[in-house]
Amino acid sequence: MKLIRSTNTKELDKICSRYLLRRKRIEETVRNIIENVRILGDDALVKYTRRFDKVKLLAKNIRVTQAEISGAYQNISPDFVQNLKLVIENVNKFYQKQVKKSWKIKDEDGVVLGEKVTPIESIGVYVPAGTAPLVSSVYMTVLPAKMAGVKRIALASPPDKFGNINPHILVVADLLKVNEIYKVGGAQAIAALSFGTKTILKVDKIVGPGNNYVTEAKRQVFGFVDIDMVAGPTELVIIANHNANIDYVCADLTAQSEHLGGLAILVTPSRQLAREAKDKVSSGYVVLAKNLNEAADIANRIAPEHLQLMIKNPKNLLPKIKNAGAIFLGDFTPTAVGDYVAGPSHVLPTTGTARFFSGLSLTDFLKSSHIISYSRRALEKIKTPLGKLAAIEGLTKHAESVKIRFEEK
């Protein structure tokens, strides 16, 4: 790990500005892929699957069949489903607290105001499987969508060299009653879900993690569809001091290197801990802070996806944390707990976007319509101020649309 001091503003700025990095080559490649899929549909999906996944796939085989799903159960361990039930229970328990309902209020003049909450009709879930099949991404995205009331969920995941989707991904999707599963990955999958093809109907929103090409594709299609967020490689910041167990700290930092491009940062006021971590962990950064308060300030500047507080009383430092996708408290709460079993989705903001983005929530799958109803009496009360505001904006017909309701005939 590279050791830097908190006074080294140049190095810290480099870490904090990681979200500014954009690659023109990727942007252009993705733009071409999206345009080709938009125009050529399934033919483009077949072409790109052959080019990028090295799989010869016919258009009629893009959608996973029920026979393939049934066969997947034969290729998983017998206890997989049982273990999955515990995880599903944890996820559901967490998202039940986020359920949002329609509401309305009425005053004595007959004004009714409210909000009609409606689930998004269709979503696309992208599940990476290039370097490793992210089975957990299935339930971390599908379960909150289901609880929100989304009726149609289409899942896309790249096929392996044999033209199959990982059996664990298929089984989880089947158990969660995802009825549309497609063997397509990369930017071409995002394009298909956004604009539709003969085989894949377009969706209203796309969620789920992915590589640089998937992320760039989501950025480019935003506006044609909604997306959860523009997320980059996984990242972890650990705030720890002399009370921390060095073995736990190093194990958690090292775990980030299992992800391609994963970023691991230790922020500590302990010189001894900094030296030991620097020697034991091969990649990432150690930032030497003056004290825990400064460590919290540095973490807020970095705004990491995952933040672990590995200090004696982590709850005392929690109020100082403003920017983090998920916060893990104490020695026995490694990031891996959040990745797999705790309950909250592991689809979290990265590259500094925790300054303004939140982790995937049930409300991401809901939309609201404002409800407004006025009585004659209520409208008459606001006739004058409305007319003056309309006049200031030069929209006299707006004011007349109110006045006409009170003219004698």
Active site positions, annotated: 305-306
User: Cα-flanking dihedrals φ and ψ of residue 138, to 5°?
Assistant: -65, -55
Separation of alpha carbons 223 and 117, rounded Å: 21
Positive or negative torsion for Cα 49, 54, 57, 61: negative
Q: Per the structure block, which two tokens stand in for 184?
A: 């397509």
User: Cα-flanking dihedrals φ and ψ of residue 215, to 5°?
Assistant: -60, -45
Residue with tokens 């077949």: 46
Determine contact, residues 265/300, Cβ cutoff 8 Å: no
Residue spans of alpha helices (H) in 285-382: 292-302, 314-317, 335-340, 376-381
Position 185, amino acid: G
Position 107, amino acid: D
Q: Angle at the Cα of 100 (from 99 to 106), degrees rounded to 5?
A: 150
- The total of other beta-carbon atoms located within 10 Å of residue 32's CB is 11
- The total of other beta-carbon atoms located within 10 Å of residue 101's CB is 6
Determine contact, residues 244/310, Cβ cutoff 8 Å: yes
Determine contact, residues 301/12, Cβ cutoff 8 Å: yes
Determine contact, residues 193/226, Cβ cutoff 8 Å: no
Determine contact, residues 124/157, Cβ cutoff 8 Å: no
CA 66 to chain centre: 29
185 closest CA partner among 224, 256, 133, 229: 133
Separation of alpha carbons 278 and 286, rounded Å: 7
364 closest CA partner among 170, 204, 192: 204
